[in-house]
Amino acid sequence: MKNAIILLTVFGAWFTSGCSNAQSVSPKSVLIVYLSRTNNTKAIAEIIQANVGGTLVALELEKPYPSDYKQTVQQVMHENETGYLPPLKTKIDSIEKYDVVFIGFPTWDMKMPPPLKSFLHDYNLRGKTVVPFNTNAGYGVGSGFQTVEKRCPDSKVLEGFSIKGGIERDGVYLNIKDEKRKEAEKEVKEWLQRIRLIK
Ligand SMILES: Cc1cc2nc3c(=O)[nH]c(=O)nc-3n(C[C@H](O)[C@H](O)[C@H](O)COP(=O)(O)O)c2cc1C
């Protein structure tokens, strides 16, 4: 009897680990949510969708940020200090139907932008696989991926993807285009293979 229980336990562990290592996902169960001001993060979201499929959703705010860069930086710093969660105009229909949720955002103030914090506050991603991605001006993701982990304690958070995008401060807007977009396509594909979401 004891041997049978051990055998069942070992088989069960092998079987479930085999399931969680599946190499591809059903496109219907994939949601790709992103925030993008100058379309760099949008470009990465589109590349992910071309590889994995899924529903693409751009996060919009009830009250958009100013078009002026410096004013936006000031507002974001203030929101970060106070913990303000800007209300989202975007509503996700039936979040429960998705098993894999990609979350894309630019680095703002070396952090996750406040609208993403609103998203993670409004939607419960418990039990889902969460996959973060990021673009930045060359200073990296900052604390963004750590914040995803912290705010999704009951999700399986996979390795994130981060790449240099634009530098709005210096007037460089969409940078992930032409040759840069081709390079990004290659890097995104390698990452998706590494985290076993595509073969
Ligand atoms: C308000 C604001 C703050 C930013 N702060 C940072 C930062 O701290 N570090 C960084 O590397 N880039 C920073 N950036 C640059 C963006 O992360 C970068 O341009 C990114 O590619 C923009 O993505 P998007 O085109 O999807 O909006 C900031 C941009 C904005 C608008």
Residue 150 lies in a domain: yes
Residue 15 has pLDDT above 70, yes or no: no
| Ligand 1 pocket list (CB less than 6 A) | 36-42, 69, 72-73, 76, 106-110, 135-139, 165-168
The answer to whether residue 22 sits within a structural domain is: no
Q: For residue 104, give the nearest of 63, 53, 145 by alpha carbon.
A: 145
pLDDT value, residue 24: 79
Flag whether 21 is in a domain: no
- Does the pLDDT value for residue 9 go beyond 80? no
Q: Report yes or no on 52 lying in a domain.
A: yes
Taking CA atoms only, the protein residue closest to ligand 1 atom 19 is: 166
pLDDT at 13 exceeding the cut of 90? no
Strand pairing category for 30-34 and 55-58:
parallel
Residue 151 is part of a domain; what is its CATH number? Answer: 3.40.50.360
Rounded to the nearest whole angstrom, what is the distance from the C-alpha of residue 168 to the centroid of ligand 1? Answer: 7
For 75-123, write each residue's pLDDT tens digit: 999 999 999 999 999 999 999 999 999 999 999 999 999 999 999 999 9
- Report the distance separating Cα 79 and Cα 87, nearest Å: 12
pLDDT tens, residue by residue, 140-178: 999 999 999 999 999 999 999 999 999 999 999 999 999
Rounded Cα distance between 87 and 135, Å, is 23
What is the phi-psi region of residue 53: left when phi exceeds 0, alpha when psi lies from -120 to 50, beta otherwise? left
**Best of 60, 108, 135 for a ligand 1 pocket test (most atoms within 8 Å of beta carbon):** 108
Evaluate whether residue 76 is within a structural domain.
Answer: yes
Structural domain that includes position 191: 30-195
Tell me how far the alpha carbon of residue 137 lies from the centroid of ligand 1, in angstroms. Answer: 6
This prediction has a pTM of: 0.90
- With a CB cutoff of 8 Å and minimum separation 6, the contacts of 102 are 30, 31, 32, 33, 34, 45, 48, 52, 54, 130, 131, 132, 133
Encoded tokens for 196: 């076993």
Task: With respect to residue 98, please indicate whether it lies within any of the assigned structural domains.
Answer: yes
User: Would 106 be classed as within a structural domain?
Assistant: yes
Of ligand 1's listed atoms, the one at least distance from the Cα of 75 is 1
Query: How many structural domains are present in the chain?
Result: 1
- Ligand 1 atom, smallest distance to 39 CA: 25
Give domain status of residue 186, yes or no: yes
What is the whole-number distance in angstroms between the Cα of residue 110 and the centre of ligand 1? 8
Confidence band of 12 (pLDDT split at 50, 70, 90): very low
Distance of alpha carbon 105 from alpha carbon 45, whole angstroms? 10
Report the separation in Å between the CA atom of 58 and the middle of ligand 1, taken as the mean of its atom positions: 16
On average, the pLDDT of the chain sits at: 91
